[in-house]
Amino acid sequence: MTERTTETPRHPAPVVVVAGALYDRGRLLAARRSAPADLAGRWELPGGKLEPGEGPEEALVRELREELGVEVEPGERIPGEWPLKPGYVLRVWTARLLSGEPRPLEDHDELRWLSRSELDSVDWLDQDRPAVAEAGLRLPER
Ligand code: DCM
């Protein structure tokens, strides 16, 4: 017997936002959001939403190219997943700077490279804090 069922998920798959713990010479890049108003002035790991059909590493490379004008190589995923607004989750990958010097081209008004001892010196978005702590533990010496 064949039977087809059409299930309507009660919790549709969340929109995935990928962000990069971008490393260069022993420092981690922090980006200060310029919008929207409720997030402006807070610091984040730069990234953005996956586009349809896109893999997470691919999305990360595209977002950091668009937002910062740099080429990066994704590394490992930082374990965990953090809720954003309803229906959105944050996943974080480490990434290494391949070329370019990051500039705040979109969504940000300031960038800072932070050494391990400086990681608490900016006001991170609450949802980014666990990933930043993990990223700090993985910060390469150089
Ligand atoms: N976001 C976040 N932390 C990040 C990156 C993004 O909380 N490190 C949030 C901000 C937005 C949403 O994800 O609500 C989509 O990001 P964007 O507007 O940059 O595409």
How far from 104 is each of 4, 69, 116, CA to CA, in Å?
50, 8, 22
Q: Does position 60 have pLDDT exceeding 80, yes or no?
A: yes
Pairing status of strand 15-24 against strand 88-99: parallel
- Segment 31-53 mean pLDDT: 97
**What is the ipTM score, two decimals?**
0.92
In this structure, which residue's CA is closest to atom 19 in ligand 1?
48
The pTM assigned to this predicted structure is 0.91
Q: Closest by alpha carbon to 129, among 83, 65, 97, 85?
A: 83
Q: CB under 6 Å to ligand 1: residues?
A: 17, 19, 39, 44-45, 47-49, 84-85, 88, 90, 107, 125, 127-128
- Segment 66-72 mean pLDDT: 98
How far, in Å, is the centroid of ligand 1 from the Cα of 61? 15
